Amino acid sequence: MQFDIEGNPDFGQLTVGLVPGESFLAESGSMAFMSDGTELKSKLIGGFAKALIRKVVGGESLFVGEYSHPTGGSVTFSPDRPGMILHRKLAGDSFVLTAGSFLAATPGITLTTKFVSLPAIFSGEGAFTIVASGEGDLFFNAYGAIIEKQIDGSLTVDTGHAVAWDPGLKYNVTTIGGAKSTLLSGEGIVLNFTGTGTVYIQTRTLNGVARWLGGMYR
């Protein structure tokens, strides 16, 4: 599949070429423009019950869009947040994404969800991760730029800054600063990674910008 990513690192935009008989999956509501004659179907990720829980607790969309074109065309996608779009080629392996980071994928990739931790709900970043596995092209996005942090040992990352990571890394969700502080403010919820692999970290968070804007208008 042919694709082009433009606008990085500030305002990434993904354009995908569709050939007859080929389809493409993308986050619901991410389509910016497309060729005349492009066909769109809604596809539910996993079972309805799991998807509904994911929507209520984790903030994830219930559906993805499945795009195709009978004679060939193109579709351009824009994430709902400014920042980078990254591509990862899967060849029978897997990759872990945080809630809201998935943008698009080819049909050869299977998307499943995994509950992370109850405390993550209070962070506002979502309590689910998406595990992408199979063969094909995967696209994910961040708020701001993405820093690839190599781990050979351990690393603690705020849940709001974690975007994705290699599946070989082990992690657990914990709090710093006390449970009361976490429940009241959503602060102090972190991911403790151990092992060898790469963590993708975004330089900005939506919650951080919201707090900054709130402070300006008090």
HSE-up of residue 44 (Cα within 13 Å, Cβ side): 9
Higher pLDDT, 46 or 3: 3
Q: How far apart are CA 191 and CA 202, in angstroms?
A: 14
Place of tokens 């389809």: 23
Q: Which CATH architecture has domain 3-216?
A: 4-Layer Sandwich (3.60)
Q: What is the pTM of this model?
A: 0.83
Q: How does residue 51 score in pLDDT terms, banded at 50, 70 and 90?
A: very low
CA 134 to chain centre: 17
Would you place residue 99 in the very low, low, confident or very high pLDDT band (cuts 50, 70, 90)?
confident
Task: Please say if the pLDDT value at position 64 is more than 60.
Answer: yes
| pLDDT of the residue at 125 | 52
Whats the size of the chain, residue-wise?
218
Structure letter (DSSP) for residue 203: S
Lowest-confidence segment of 3-7, 140-144, 179-183, 188-192 by average pLDDT: 179-183
Does the pLDDT of residue 158 top 60, yes or no? yes
Burial of 94 (0-12, 13-18, 19+ CB in 10 A): middle
Q: Rounded to whole angstroms, how far apart are CA atoms 188 and 119?
A: 10
pLDDT, tens digit, 9 for 90 and up, residues 100-157? 899 999 999 988 887 765 454 444 455 678 899 999 999 999 999 999 999 999 999 9
